[in-house]
Amino acid sequence: MCALATSGVLAAGARSAGAQKPAAAASPAAPAATAAGVHATLTRAADLADGRMVLLLQVEATGLGLGSYQGAVTFDPTQVTVDSAVAPSGDGSRLVNANDAAKGLVRYAGYTTSSFRTGDAVRFVVRVKSLDAAKFATTLDVAGDVNGTAIAKTLLHGSAGVRPSRGTKPAK
């Protein structure tokens, strides 16, 4: 049984199905895709004074109402230590399962009966030896619209790398 952190609260729950491969390794600095579908991206949100960094996983839909999703973030565990992984509260139900973070895997999911107000899915605080060598990737396994209809796998887009955010130092 997996422990899932839901807005900081632990709950027992679901496991992710086989993950799709992330999108082709385009430049992590490229802007978010605008093609119709669901896009999962990691953004470097802040650098902390103690050398850790904050990464924000965003799951955003373009051209459709997103009601649910499930996916994973993978990375090289020799390069990354996850200090925390927290799903936000107050915007549907969002879940994060960091039980396998030491193996380079964090699973996430979300669902709502209406559309999500924001794309913010998980806030990570991490220690990274080398951002390039960390080989971060996001995948989406499944997603559904607000009526519960499955969104075609061809419209689910993961990403490779971490996008920079304004005000953060360049990746090392």
Give residue 129's pLDDT: 94
Which secondary-structure segment (H or E) carries 131?
helix 131-134
42 vs 60: CA distance, rounded Å: 11
Phi/psi class of residue 63: alpha, beta or left (left: φ > 0; alpha: ψ in -120 to 50)? left
CA distances in angstroms from 27 to 24, 72, 133, 161, listed in the order given: 9, 20, 15, 8
| pLDDT at res. 166 | 61
Q: Kindly give the pairing relationship between strand 159-160 and strand 53-62.
A: unpaired
Strands 37-47 and 156-157 turn out to be parallel
Q: What is the pLDDT of residue 91?
A: 86
pLDDT, tens digit (0-9, with 9 covering 90-100), for 149-169: 999 999 999 999 999 986 545
Per-residue pLDDT tens digits for 110-122: 999 888 889 999 9
Domains of the chain (ranges, CATH numbers): 2-8+35-147 (2.60.40.680)
Q: Which pTM was predicted?
A: 0.77
